[in-house]
Amino acid sequence: MTFLPSFRAMARIAVTLLVTVAAVGGGLWLWDYYMNEPWTRDGRVRADIVQISSDVAGLVTDVRVADNQLVRKGEVLFVVDPGRYRLAEEQAQANLDSAKAELAYRTAEAHRYEQLGNNVVSTAQRQEVMSAMAKAAAAAKQAEAALDLARFNLGRTEVRATVDGYVTNLQMKAGNYVAAGQAVVALIDSHSFYVMGYFEETKLPRIRVGAPVSVRIMGVSTELRGRVDSIARAIVDRDRAEGTGLVANVNPTFNWVRLAQRIPVRIALDEVPESLQLVAGRTATVSVVGAPDGTPKVAQLPAGQ
């Protein structure tokens, strides 16, 4: 008669032990997952932004692209008024023609002096004529270079895309004045999209360059695959600044609760579906899913265990 209560007591104890072990195991797994596993929700899609500027100054006469438009390398984005540069080319051409005419005259004069005997012209006169011919030749080369520069500037009145990409935040209108070297168009390189994951410093020991990575962009069900491309080697030290006399100015306060620093880790994407529109700045969750050789992750125990 006492067998049944004993069995029930043992069963309760066994269930309690199982629940306790499961709870402890689950707690350890959750601790390792949230504190040590190399994943982060603090990821951003990024891309290289090319700042397009005009190599010549002038009024914009024609804008040939629209905001958010996809353009190809070499496509004309906008045109700077070519009028003054065309006139400069014509002036340079006229200067070159004049310099060539002067060189032809000086060359013919030098040939005439060479045919005259020493009793007719002196050595000093010959040297003077040869010097004049050399100066005319140099002036002709200078005028030719000026013409090439004028033609170069005229060609640069058509500002072209340097990469394949998307025009973004276009503010330019016809009639705007642009200065040489002033960035006026932002072009997102369509072949440069990558993901930057900001991992806590405590998770870096489990991250290696070349390791496979899973990327999930917020609002997108498609999972992207990539690999760890590089890990940043420096971040800003907010507790230190440059003091007077080049002496370090260190913050004297210390917070007992120390938050782990975020280290940028660059992720190169393997393949992006054509249906997925990558936008620089979108939020992503980044998870390192394997070792650099592609094998699954294995939890590493501390040394000596």
Task: Give the pLDDT mean for 172-190.
Answer: 94
Higher pLDDT, 165 or 252: 165
Can you say whether the dihedral through the CA atoms of 183, 188, 193, 196 is positive or negative?
A: positive
CATH number for the segment(s) 50-189: 2.40.50.100
User: How do residues 238-278 score in pLDDT, each as one tens digit?
Assistant: 777 777 777 888 878 777 777 888 999 999 999 888 888 89
Percent helix, strand and coil across the chain, each rounded to 5?
A: 35, 30, 35
- Nearest Cα to Cα of residue 43 among 224, 232, 281: 281
Could you tell me the two tokens for 252?
């004297």
Q: Could you give the CA distance from residue 216 to residue 142 in angstroms, rounded to a whole number?
A: 61
Burial (CB < 10 A; 0-12, 13-18, 19+), residue 185, is: buried
Write the CA distances from 155 to 152, 172, 185, integer angstroms.
Answer: 5, 20, 19
Above pLDDT 70, what percent of the chain? 88
Tell me what pLDDT residue 253 has: 75
Task: Give the pLDDT mean for 47-67.
Answer: 95
188 φ, ψ (degrees, to nearest 5):
-85, 115
User: How do residues 70-113 score in pLDDT, each as one tens digit?
Assistant: 999 999 999 999 999 999 999 999 999 999 998 888 888 878 77
Q: State yes or no: pLDDT of 154 exceeds 50.
A: yes
Question: Taking all residues of the chain, what is their mean pLDDT, rounded to a whole number?
Answer: 85
Task: Give the pLDDT mean for 190-211.
Answer: 91
Tell me what pLDDT residue 117 has: 62
User: How do residues 110-136 score in pLDDT, each as one tens digit?
Assistant: 787 777 766 666 777 777 788 888 889
Higher pLDDT, 255 or 217: 217
User: How do residues 27-38 score in pLDDT, each as one tens digit?
Assistant: 766 665 555 578
Tell me what pLDDT residue 304 has: 34
Tell me what pLDDT residue 160 has: 95
Q: State yes or no: pLDDT of 294 exceeds 80.
A: no
Question: Which residue in the block uniquely carries the two structure tokens 């070792």?
Answer: 291
Task: Give the pLDDT mean for 5-24.
Answer: 76
Tell me what pLDDT residue 121 has: 67
Tell me what pLDDT residue 303 has: 34
The set of residues, in sequence order, having a beta carbon less than 8 Å from that of 96 and lying 6+ positions away, is 140, 143, 144, 146, 147
Task: Give the pLDDT mean for 295-303.
Answer: 41
Above pLDDT 90, what percent of the chain? 53
